[in-house]
Amino acid sequence: MDELEVKTGHDKKRITEALLYLEKDNYIVWENKTDLGGILIIEGWERESDQHMPVKHTQGTADYWTKY
């Protein structure tokens, strides 16, 4: 857990909440809550959504390089 704290910048409580959320939504199985080594990833990608991200249109090719 200490390594996750350092790498994410979040405390143990926040990391545990996130892992419990992933377990509740069936992304992971986490039987032994005292050990992160036993986490089993069930679904390693985000699920498809009915909502699509809006597409940004640029007016010219230079906009791509200067506005991002």
pLDDT (tens digit, 9 = 90+) per residue, 16-49?
999 999 999 999 999 999 889 999 999 777 777 6
Checking if the pLDDT of 63 tops 90, the result is no
**Residue 37 covered by a domain:** yes
**Residue 56 covered by a domain:** no
**Residue 5 covered by a domain:** yes
| Three-state secondary structure of 13-67 | HHHHHHHHHHHHCCCEECCCCCCHHHCEECCCCCCCCCCCCCCCCCCCHHHHHHC
Checking if the pLDDT of 61 tops 80, the result is no
Number of domains in the chain: 1
Using a pLDDT cut of 70, give the percent of the chain over it: 72
Checking if the pLDDT of 56 tops 70, the result is no
**Residue 67 covered by a domain:** no
Residue 11 domain boundaries: 1-44
